[in-house]
Amino acid sequence: MIKFTLRCEAEHEFEGWFRDNAAFEEQAGKGVLSCPVCGDGRVTKSIMAPAVRTSENAAAAQAEKNARMAAVMKQLRAAHEHVEKNFENVGERFAEEARAIHYGDKEQRDIFGQTTLQEAKELHDEGVSFGFLPPLPKADA
Ligand SMILES: [Zn+2]
């Protein structure tokens, strides 16, 4: 089946499904096609038929976006699991602990916790290496 956007002489546009282009030509030739708005039988294929393709593209783009998001979420969840299992949670003392480890005041170990953007910037400026782990969305099914 193929969908055509059709147009009558009064420029009403409507859609019709046909087995193939020949089926359309045949029905149009017999004059059995008519405009659902005004009943005009002089129906032609609209050359402006981007609506179909656009919606298909949009759907494909959305599906691709969803798939990408799902992949990102999977990675993020895995990263969270890895960190929570293997790193020590120092909570809001993160900046303090990271600095202490960096300057050798505390034993070298993997930690995670929360920090403010300002603290993160200061740590970065001091050459403390750390990574950002975006939070998981709360409504995560
Ligand atoms: Zn019409």
pLDDT at 49: 47
110 alpha carbon – ligand 1 mean position (Å): 72
- Estimate to the nearest angstrom the gap between the alpha carbon of 137 and the chain centroid: 15
Side chain identity, residue 80: H
Q: How far is the CA of 86 from the centre of ligand 1 (A)?
A: 69
pLDDT of residue 30: 87
Centre of ligand 1 from the C-alpha of residue 42, in Å: 9
Token look-up 């981007």 returns: 50
Rounded Cα gap, residues 22 and 136, in angstroms: 54
Predicted structure pTM score: 0.49
What's the pLDDT at 52? 55
C-alpha–C-alpha distance, residues 1 and 3, integer Å = 7
Q: Would you write out the chain's pLDDT as a tens digit for each of its 141 residues?
A: 888 899 999 989 999 999 988 999 899 888 889 999 999 988 998 864 445 566 778 888 888 899 988 998 898 899 999 999 999 999 999 999 999 999 999 999 999 999 998 999 999 999 998 888 888 877 655
Q: Are 134 and 77 in contact (CB under 8 A)?
A: no
The structure tokens listed for 79 are 């990263």
Amino acid at site 115: T
Task: Give me the pLDDT at residue 87, please.
Answer: 92
Q: How many whole angstroms separate alpha carbon 22 and alpha carbon 117?
A: 65
